[in-house]
Structure 1
Amino acid sequence: MKYDEFLARVRQRGEYTSRDEAAKITEAVLGVLAERISPGEVEDLASQLPGPLGPALTSAKRQQPENFGIEEFYRRVAERTGARPRTAEWDAGAVLTTVAEAVSGGELNQIISQLPSSFAVLFGKADAD
């Protein structure tokens, strides 16, 4: 998937008014995701994402992943976007469902396996089987 197509899908899913808004939301969600998964997984995911998304993801990675749940994930996304946590839930779903389409099934499974099962729905999965 090319970068423009990725942002177009995020924009459509999130019902954003502009490509710039979709890009800002995407970078915020990916930045929080990078804090939550292992550095090696951040690198693997970054290698499969189009355009500037990979470097944006790797610049947010930590030495060690932080351990937080889905509510904290939403809070952090909301903090970065200036939105409410409920809006951040919508934003995270728009971005991460698009990530699920853009990466290989194996990569997606590796990401989801590092997260609590409650995160699976954000990637368009019913559960983390």
Structure 2
Amino acid sequence: MQYHEFLAAVEKHGGPTDRDHADQASKIVLATIGQRLAGQEPRDLASQLPPELQEPLLQHTGEDEIGDDLDDFLRRVADREGRGCDPETALTHSQAVLGTIAEFVSAGEIADLRSQLPAGYAPLFQQPR
């Protein structure tokens, strides 16, 4: 998968329509998800993504993962994204990014990713409204 294909798919899934904004949102969502993952999972997921998306996912590897609920996660994404982003928009952007990832990485990797997240994170894997 090429990075420009990834960004086009994020837009198709309801994410930001501006390429720079889609780039920023994708990297923020991945960096924030990366903080929730333990062990080899960030590296395993990153290995199936374009190089441009690997660093955000891996930047917190080796640090203690953050144990937060979905609302805390969405507030952190919204705060990092800025641009007037609120938690509802952060949910839509997160769904677009994770929906795109689900199209491009193996089903087993998605199952591994989901297994490390609390059940309350399930809305992240639903289609945006």
- Structure 1 and Structure 2 fold alike (TM over 0.5): yes
The answer to whether the 8 A contact 1:39-1:64 is kept is no
The answer to whether the 8 A contact 2:29-2:94 is kept is yes
The answer to whether the 8 A contact 1:37-1:115 is kept is yes
Task: Pick closer, same or farther for the CA change 1:15–1:92 going to 2, 3 Å.
Answer: closer
Shift in Å, 1:15: 4.7
Pick which of 84-93 and 12-21 moved more. 12-21
The answer to whether the 8 A contact 2:16-2:93 is kept is no
CA distance in 2, matches of 1:91, 1:5: 16
Give the structure 1 partner of residue 77 of structure 2.
Answer: 77
Higher helix share: 1
CA distance in 2, matches of 1:29, 1:114: 16
- Structure 2 segments unaligned to the other structure (5+ residues): none
Give the RMSD, CA atoms, in angstroms.
1.6
Q: Give the fraction of aligned pairs with identical amino acids, expressed as a percent.
A: 42
- Name the SS of the counterpart of 1:14 in structure 2: coil
Q: What TM-score, normalized to structure 1?
A: 0.88
- Structure 1 segments unaligned to the other structure (5+ residues): none
Task: Pick closer, same or farther for the CA change 1:52–1:39 going to 2, 3 Å.
Answer: farther
CA distance in 1, matches of 2:120, 2:111: 14
Alignment of 1:1-129 (within 5 A): 1-82=1-82, 83-124=85-126
- Name the SS of the counterpart of 1:36 in structure 2: coil
- Aligned partner letter, 1:61: T
Shift in Å, 1:117: 1.5
CA distance in 2, matches of 1:15, 1:65: 26
Give the structure, 1 or 2, with the largest relative contact order (CA under 8 Å, sep 6 or more). 2
Shift in Å, 1:51: 2.7
Q: What TM-score, normalized to structure 2?
A: 0.88
Shift in Å, 1:39: 4.0
The number of residues matched between the two structures is 125
